[in-house]
Every structure is written in C-alpha cells, then in structure tokens.
Amino acid sequence: MTPLLLAASGLLSPRGLIEKVGLAGIFAVIFAESGLLIGFFLPGDSLLFTAGFFASGPAAVPEELHLNLPALLIGCFVAAVAGDQVGYIFGRRVGPAVFNRPDSRVFKQANVDKATAFFDKHGTKTIVLARFVPVVRTFVPVVAGVSRMHYRTFVVFNVVGGLLWAVGVTLLGYFLGQIGFVADNIELAILAVVAISILPIAIELLRARAEAKRDRQSVVDALTDDD
C-alpha cells in the first residue's frame, strides 16, 4: 500500500494507527521511521505524543485505547534504538551505493543529501539532534554507517538520542494528557507537536535561502565592481 493510500485509509493518522495495530504497530512504526529508508513518511513525533496521551487515560479516549505506559516507553525506546542500529549497519555494508540510487516514489536523493549536510555540520551529535528532525532522522543512521562513524560512538549517541526522543515525546503526551484543556483539544495539541517537529527543517530552509541570496548578491556586487 502506497503512502497516499495509507493516508487515505486513515492508517497514517496517529489515532488510526493505534486503533488498528495497537502497541505492536506503534513499535513497528518507530522502528521503521528510525532507520528504514522507506519509513521516512511515517508520523513518528505525533504517534509518540498521541500514544503517550492515550496512556494518560483521559476521559475523551475509549477504554480499549488506553495504553500501558511502562510497556509503551520500553517498547518505543527499544524500537527507536534498534531502528537506528539497522540503518547504521545497512549504510556500513552497502556503502556509497546508497548515494547512487535513482529517485523513486519512496526514495529521493535529496533526502540523503539533506541528512549528509546535517551530519557534516553537527558531527557525532547529529545522531541525537536528528531524532527531532523528521525525514533527517530516518537517513542519518544510514549516513553514519556510510561514513564509517566509530561504532561504539554511534551506539552511545544512538541510545541517548533514542531515550530523549522516544521516551521524552511520549512522556510529554502523557503529562499533557492530564491537563483538561489539552485533553479536550487533542487534535490541536497534535498539530502543535507536528509544527514544532518541522520547525528545524523550516529554519534550515530559510537559512539556506538567505545564504543563497547573499551568494547571488555577492556575485552581482563583484560583477558591478569589475565594470
């Protein structure tokens, strides 16, 4: 099933995923989005937040959708770390061939380029920072493997990043779910989480556009000076 068909069926909505596949499905999505190249379109941030919200047991959530918090936290953490490990191993074994794959409906070379630039800019701490940047977090472990980042270093940052992201975002949903206003406006809360999660990408795009504009102006100024 393609991403468009998944979205149309409601399977890509956090609530739809939880209703249809439960805890096992949540873990599978977090695993896939963390390190499988085809998982970049999955709703990791909003899914973690919504799952944490459901675990808080607000009255707005049917009893059959209430989730066990300890099981949720442990499973999401393990899935996030394991997903990155698979991405790293894939990148290390496949090597530069990852960068030479042609574009397709689910794979875009631009996503690899974006992750590579992010990795080059932030170094080893990218493994932690990328957890909070959609799309980039899927490709960064692969780039780390291709770059042959020291494995022990990768594991340490992977565990830290997985803990901060998987456990942190889930707990955010859990605690906010106990606030009446948030419980009564869960859709708005999820939209806010999604907006915050894409903020780094928006900032990076604006920064890149500003730099490109400055570069063009520098060229124009240089040509004008020559005249």
SS3 letters across the chain: CCHHHHHHHCCCCHHHHHHHHHHHHHHHHHHHHHHCHHHCCCCHHHHHHHHHHHHCCCCCCCHHHCCCHHHHHHHHHHHHHHHHHHHHHHHHHHHHHHHHCCCCCCCCHHHHHHHHHHHHHHHHHHHHHHHHCCCHHHHHHHHHHHCCCCHHHHHHHHHHHHHHHHHHHHHHHHHHCCCHHHHHCHHHHHHHHHHHHHHHHHHHHHHHHHHHHHHHHHHHHHHHHHC
For the segment 188-200, what is each residue's pLDDT rounded down to a tens digit? 777 776 676 666 6
Give the separation between CA 187 and CA 193, rounded to whole angstroms: 10
Regarding predicted confidence, which is higher, 214 or 28?
28
- Please tell me the total count of domains within the chain: 1
pLDDT score, position 7:
38
Is pTM, for the whole model, over 0.85?
no
pLDDT class of 9 with cuts at 50, 70, 90: very low
Q: Which range marks the domain in which residue 26 is found? A: 3-226
Give the separation between CA 210 and CA 205, rounded to whole angstroms: 9
Give the separation between CA 31 and CA 196, rounded to whole angstroms: 21
For the segment 102-145, what is each residue's pLDDT rounded down to a tens digit? 665 555 677 667 777 777 777 778 888 888 888 888 888 888 88
Regarding predicted confidence, which is higher, 3 or 110?
110
pLDDT class of 83 with cuts at 50, 70, 90: very high
Please determine, for residue 80, whether its predicted confidence score (pLDDT) is greater than 90. Answer: yes
Give the separation between CA 127 and CA 160, rounded to whole angstroms: 9
pLDDT score, position 43:
78
pLDDT score, position 127:
87
Q: CA-CA distances (angstroms) from residue 60 to 6, 43, 63, 178?
A: 25, 22, 9, 11
